[in-house]
Amino acid sequence: MSARRKYLIAALIALLWGAAMLAAFWWFEARYLRTFEGERAELFSGDALRLPAELQGPGPVRFVHFWDPGCPCNVGNQQHLQELLQRFAGQPVDFYEVRKPGSKGRLPQPLAALKPLDGLIGAEQLPASPAVGIWDQSGELVYIGPYSEGAVCSSDNSFVEPILDAVLAGRKVRATHSLAVACFCDWQQ
């Protein structure tokens, strides 16, 4: 086989690989990255969210992770959630999880510390997951919305760490209506 033919085959393989990567990226973006501000505006609103009676009132900060086992966007935020568990270990923060109604599945072992939470009033009205709700030490909802903005979430682009830090420092926070562009799956199906 001539050198020219080898280069041609290598270039063709590289071109096919590049096209496959672009198609995969487009599929991911088109399916899971949606704007909340476009034609179909969505709003995370905490007006109807209430903790179960046994968790209401004064206590530690309550961090509630809303997730759908069938949503591929969870994979992107599980590492971030694990980092949050490690960072806020030993601080007065209790971590809970609410699984999408009607779904089945478990969080991976590193996230087993999240306590299942049933009976969260108003959770059925969330527009999308993964999402997070944070209640302060007085039991007031201070944040509801996505972990971050963009296709992936990490400590670099997160909304959550600054809010937790502010609440733990005793500062007043109120971010119960959030608009964002993020990787999410519909919660109400």
114 contacts 125 by C-beta, under 8 angstroms = no
Which pTM was predicted? Answer: 0.77
The domain of 130 spans 44-186
39 lies in some domain: no
38 lies in some domain: no
pLDDT tens figures, 104-123: 888 989 899 999 998 789 99
Asked if residue 155 and residue 113 are part of one domain, the reply reads yes
pLDDT tens figures, 35-70: 433 333 357 888 889 999 999 999 999 999 999 998
Asked if residue 55 and residue 146 are part of one domain, the reply reads yes
Domains in the chain, number: 2
* Tally of residues, the chain: 189
82 lies in some domain: yes
Asked if residue 95 and residue 28 are part of one domain, the reply reads no
Asked if residue 50 and residue 22 are part of one domain, the reply reads no
Asked if residue 76 and residue 29 are part of one domain, the reply reads no
CA atoms in the 13 A half-sphere facing the CB of 57: 2
